[in-house]
Structure 1
């Protein structure tokens, strides 16, 4: 795998994911970090956006998933986000973290984060 990376950190979107009915009804903010692993040399050599990943389009696609069909588990949401990243042809692997800072935990905490790594078969 290439050592080149494109990272999108702190992407915020409102979603209705969770096990509890209130989470589904009211929704909450989710924060997404995605690091794409790819070879950026072809894009750099040609200065051609079509040979890399347009991170603006990626951000829009990821937000659409977060704002879309609710799931119970953050793990499921992370997998769906990883699938979006891997759909870009140059991407060899991805690391996705989904933060749920308003998770319904009745104790003081900073964040809940699920991080997954996925690669092309």
Structure 2
């Protein structure tokens, strides 16, 4: 069995205007994104060339554009959009995306609210690999 390597980008914090409530869209808030990309990295290690791997600086910019972009009601939708962006690089076989909303409008004390999606590339497109 071939094992895939991993690139992790964690703690990417971007201001966005996502949420069900009008005030969330009007005032906005920070969202934090964690990504885990699984892909083969042997070629990049052998060539020592950034062109043979996912450029995580460019990935961060692309993900930030999604978070700062068109508002959605649910962080589930936001996580899905981010997963699609991560899988645009055909070398990425699967991705785990967690979107944190630490300032969610909850009237109780809490540390964080987060949604995690897992997506994998299939011959027919993408598949949700959560059980």
4+ residue segments displaced more than 3 Å: none
Q: How far off its partner does 1:106 sit?
A: 0.3
2:24 matched to which residue of 1?
23
**3-state SS of the aligned residue for 1:70?**
coil
Q: How far off its partner does 1:88 sit?
A: 1.1
Structure 2 unmatched runs, 5+: 123-131
2:118 matched to which residue of 1?
117
1:10 matched to which residue of 2?
11
1:105 matched to which residue of 2?
106
Higher relative contact order (CA 8 A, sep 6+): 1
Q: What's the TM-score once normalised by structure 1's chain length?
A: 0.97
Q: How far off its partner does 1:49 sit?
A: 1.2
2:61 matched to which residue of 1?
60
Quick one: distance in 2 between partners of 1:106 and 1:71? 22
Structure 1 unmatched runs, 5+: none
Moved more, 31-40 or 2-11: 2-11
**3-state SS of the aligned residue for 2:93?**
strand
Q: How far off its partner does 1:3 sit?
A: 2.9
Q: How far off its partner does 1:2 sit?
A: 3.2
Q: What's the TM-score once normalised by structure 2's chain length?
A: 0.90
